[in-house]
Amino acid sequence: MSISFVAALAGTVLAAVGTGLAIRLCVRSPRTDMVAWVIALAGLTVGLAAQAAGYRRGFVPTTFRATQLGAALVAPLALAWGMAELAAKGLVARFAARLGLAGLFVVASVILATDVLSSQPFTQKWPAARDHFELLPLGLLGLVAVAVAATVLLALLCTGLRSRNDPAWRGALATVALASVAALATQGLLASLPANTAYPALTV
């Protein structure tokens, strides 16, 4: 039983519990940003469960795609959506963010779920996206990274400036800062890391 499997399994349980708690909070206080956090946690739960299965029995196309879709696509885009909902004051800005992020999600999810994978064999080691995806899905993951980074920057800038003049924005700033850390951590899944355990740790 590898450390990577234990870390991914523990993370799956933690993420599943977190998702349940977030759903409960969302039902009590239905807000659009809460819906985004629920979706992000659900994506991370799927990604961690797929990692646990891959580290236990070896990765296959199904677990590879589930990991990429859940942790590298759904989670960061949902986190970016939640940040945009908190940081944007006007309806037009929120609508633009929803439209752009939703459009990117639809296109990228279809491509990542259906694009032909390379002939590189899978093992029990972390399946790097660049080793199994072709140029188009890799380009879309790069576009997701750019969209997430831009949202993080704008959301932190907007909430930071507003919190200086209005203390009511400090809570939003703290939430955006935490979501920014989480969103940027998911982008580390695309990097070459020295140990398999680093990937479930980043996802957690």
Note the pLDDT tens digit of each residue in 127-171.
999 999 999 999 999 999 999 999 999 999 999 989 888 888 888
| Inter-residue contact 140 to 107 (CB < 8 Å) | yes
Mean pLDDT, the chain, whole residue set? 92
Please give the pLDDT value at position 194: 83
Query: In this predicted structure, what is the pLDDT of residue 30?
Result: 87
Q: Using CA atoms, how far apart are residues 83 and 80, in angstroms rounded to an integer?
A: 5
Cα(75)–Cα(42) distance, integer angstroms: 8
- Backbone φ, ψ for residue 119 (5° rounding): -85, 5
Residues 68-110: tens digit of each pLDDT: 999 999 999 999 999 999 988 788 888 888 899 999 999 999 9
Q: What is the dihedral of CA 180, 186, 187, 191, to 10 degrees?
A: 140
